[in-house]
Amino acid sequence: MNLSPSPVLSNSFRMETVGMDALMVRLFDAIDEAHMPWILAADKALRERLGEALIDLVPSYTTLLVHYDVETLSQIEASRLIREALQNLQPASTAAGREHRIPVWYDDSVGPELSRIAERRNVDTDEIVRRHSGRDYCAFALGFSPGYAFMGMIEEALATPRLKTPRQKVAAGSVGIAERQTAIYSMRSPGGWNILGRTAVKLFDRERDEISLFRPGDRVRFEPISREAFIEQGGDTTPLEER
């Protein structure tokens, strides 16, 4: 049996060769929050079935990358375990992901795009804050930097393209939007998202048992707070550099 390079169809998912020791499990083709219970269920089932032979499992919006141990498994064996794991898969309950409330100081000094987006839409900044903090978001995938979660979907009316020129430095805790997604910068890094505010919550904290606050599938809600509350929580009020 030669799996490479054509996709193997089995039930409702595809399995694709992506490297010597990696198979891509593709469950869906487009981004949709409704997919997450399936991705989470697949994540759990694959971890259980592959056990010690699993080196890394990277879930994303529509896929799970399975990096397995080639010292113990051939590709044929790995693909058999994956098929077994995903047989009769049932979506995880929405309670499978944890819930987080993230306090955010929405302000132009730390979120320069707040008023720009408001102006462009002819509303005041409070309206933007109300809309951004008015719904739960789903953490689709972690990446870009440790603990950084790609979350969505934000309201269609808030959707904004990335900055044409990314900033060289975006402060840790910066809360941004891009297209219909939102995220928090987990560490100071370059970045091109539109920044609306800042949180004092640490997304990646080596002093904490759970080093990464978020895991794929978690649900997140932003909570507007005052400057005073932000400072009380240990927030850094240094204005965000323009570029």
Partner 1 sequence: MATSKDMQTAQQTTRATSGSLVVERTGPLALIQDAGRFGVRHLGVAQGGALDWISLGWANWMLGNAPGAAGIEIAIGGLVLKAERTLRLAIAGADLGATRDGEPLATNGSFMLEQGQVLAFDQPKAGLRAYLALPGGIGAEPFMGSLSTVAREQLGGLDGFGSALQIGDRLVAAKASSETRDMPSVAAMPQDEAVLELVTGAQIAHFDGASLFAAFNQAWQVDSRADRMGVRLTGPELRCQMGGMVSEGIPLGAVQVPPDGQPIILLNDRQTIGGYPRLGALSPIACARLGQCAPGTTIRLSPVTPHQARTRYRHQLALWQ
Residues that bind partner 1 (CB under 8 A): 2-6, 16-22, 24, 29-31, 43, 55-65, 67, 69-71, 74-75, 141-150, 186-187, 189, 204, 206, 211-212, 215-216
Comparison of 108 and 179: residue with beta carbon closer to partner 1: 179
Task: Please state the closest distance from residue 43 (CB atom) to partner 1, in A.
Answer: 8
Distance set, CA 82 to CA 41, 70, 71, 166 (Å)? 13, 14, 17, 40
Comparison of 3 and 163: residue with beta carbon closer to partner 1: 3
Q: Is 201 helix (H, G, I), strand (E, B) or coil?
A: coil
Task: Please state the closest distance from residue 129 (CB atom) to partner 1, in A.
Answer: 27
What's the token pair of residue 33? 């929050």
Comparison of 102 and 118: residue with beta carbon closer to partner 1: 102
Please give the full DSSP string across 165-178, using - where no structure is assigned.
S-EEEE-TTEEEEE
Task: Please state the closest distance from residue 67 (CB atom) to partner 1, in A.
Answer: 6
- Residue pair 114/104 in contact (Cβ under 8 Å)? The answer is no
Comparison of 94 and 189: residue with beta carbon closer to partner 1: 189
Task: Please state the closest distance from residue 231 (CB atom) to partner 1, in A.
Answer: 25
Task: Please state the closest distance from residue 193 (CB atom) to partner 1, in A.
Answer: 14
What is the crossing angle of helices 113-121 and 125-132, to 10°?
A: 100
* Cα atoms found within 13 Å of the Cα of residue 236, Cβ hemisphere only: 12
**Ramachandran region, residue 11 (left: φ > 0; alpha: ψ -120 to 50; beta: rest):** left
Comparison of 190 and 239: residue with beta carbon closer to partner 1: 190
